[in-house]
Amino acid sequence: MLHRFANPARFLRIARWVVPWSASLGLVSGAAGLYLGLAGSPADYQQGDTVRIMYVHVPAAWMALAAYATMALASAVALIWKHPLADLIAKSTAPIGATFTAIALITGALWGQPTWGTWWVWDARLTSVLILLFLYVGYLALWNAFDDPTRAARAAAVLALVGVVNLPIIKFSVDWWNTLHQPASVLKIGGPTIHPAMLTPLLLMALAFLCYFITLLLLRVRGELAARKLRALQAARAEG
């Protein structure tokens, strides 16, 4: 099944079909989520209007983890099955995931200052998310540290797989240690504990961020395939 999508031409046909739909769904869900989050949802009884930052912060944090999981899975597929597109998918995912992580950290600081009285604390959740950003940056640095793309892909894939250990630490840090973050209130046994008026825009924004990720990933992989084809043509011309 994996190798059904190994053919670049087949992948490009699928990407051309998916991108307009994912981009359109992302725009619609993002507009609806922002409207409901800013104008339709109530203010929190403790945090006031500051709580509206969560409509960007929480989906960005979710996608930071999901993007890294995607990058690690693609790296594993590349190392084990030598899938010709897996390395490109992992490489294309890294800058998107790093952006989501940076957004989560910045919005978290904006949320934390009025809520906790400080921009930053070295608690388990914040520190592990900062480490996640460093993992993304390190992964991208490894791709640029080798002249041989094969060696660069292998080294970056190993780092991506090693860094997977950080994902459960981020997820369960609020349960394992005392942190300023509240426990999970959406993805938990027994169902969400957030009022539907807040949950609806939050889920719409999460859908928008997911569609944004899919759209950018497919566009970046298409760009990587075009760059690879260009390098092959230049090498053939040089040899000729």
* Residue-averaged pLDDT of the chain: 88
What is the distance between the alpha carbons of residues 143 and 236, in angstroms, rounded to a whole number? 24
Find out whether 94 and 142 touch, Cβ atoms under 8 Å.
no
- Mean pLDDT over 4-17 rounds to 82
pLDDT, tens only, 158-189: 999 999 999 999 888 877 777 766 666 666 55
What is the distance between the alpha carbons of residues 137 and 123, in angstroms, rounded to a whole number? 21
Query: How much is the pLDDT for 26?
Result: 97
Distances (CA, A) of 239 to 9, 10, 104, 228: 25, 29, 48, 17
Reading the block at residue 150, the tokens are: 């094969």
pLDDT, tens only, 220-233: 999 999 888 887 78
Q: Does the domain formed by 14-195+212-239 have CATH 1.20.120?
A: yes
Distances (CA, A) of 192 to 55, 122, 178, 188: 15, 28, 22, 6
Nearest to 184 by CA among 99, 101, 62: 62
